[in-house]
Amino acid sequence: MFGCGSAIKELGLVFDNPVDAGRPSPSFNADIAPILTNRCAIAKCHVVDGPHDIDLRTYDSVIKGGDEGAIVIAGDAMESEMVEEIAEGKMPPEGPPLEAAQIQLIIDWINEGAENN
């Protein structure tokens, strides 16, 4: 678990199973990819040859992770580096942080198994 408990509370983020909680299942292609490509996979950021070799443009590259290993732990958003970096406000480093609803979609997608759907 990462150290952003206050950020989680402030943003109202939950780390449960979204379907059990009555939230819709997020889709990588419809929900997650647009967030990543619009806010993270931009020039000189998380694209080929970007920081830490993390490329967030495709499902396969997201699941691959970076030079330090996986950034998404399927089924466990609380242990996923991607969520930690976003929830703590470290990413994206420029511009406004992701909205709580966007972060929740990423959490829900990961907790449901981070599928290519």
Residue 3 lies in a domain: no
- Other beta carbons within 10 angstroms of residue 82's beta carbon come to 24
Per the model's pLDDT, the better-predicted residue between 14 and 51 turns out to be: 14
Count: domains in the chain? 1
Domain holding 87, by residue range, is 25-111
Residue 103 lies in a domain: yes
Give yes or no for a contact between 26 and 108, defined as CB atoms under 8 angstroms apart. Answer: yes
Residue 100: strand, helix, or coil: helix
Residue 31 lies in a domain: yes
Q: What's the pTM?
A: 0.92
Q: What pLDDT does residue 94 have?
A: 81
Residue 6 lies in a domain: no
Residue 1 lies in a domain: no
The confidence band for 35, taking pLDDT boundaries of 50, 70 and 90, is very high
Residue pLDDT, tens place only, 77-88: 999 999 999 998
Q: Is 64 exposed, middle or buried (0-12, 13-18, 19+ CB in 10 A)?
A: middle
**DSSP bridge partners of 69:** 66
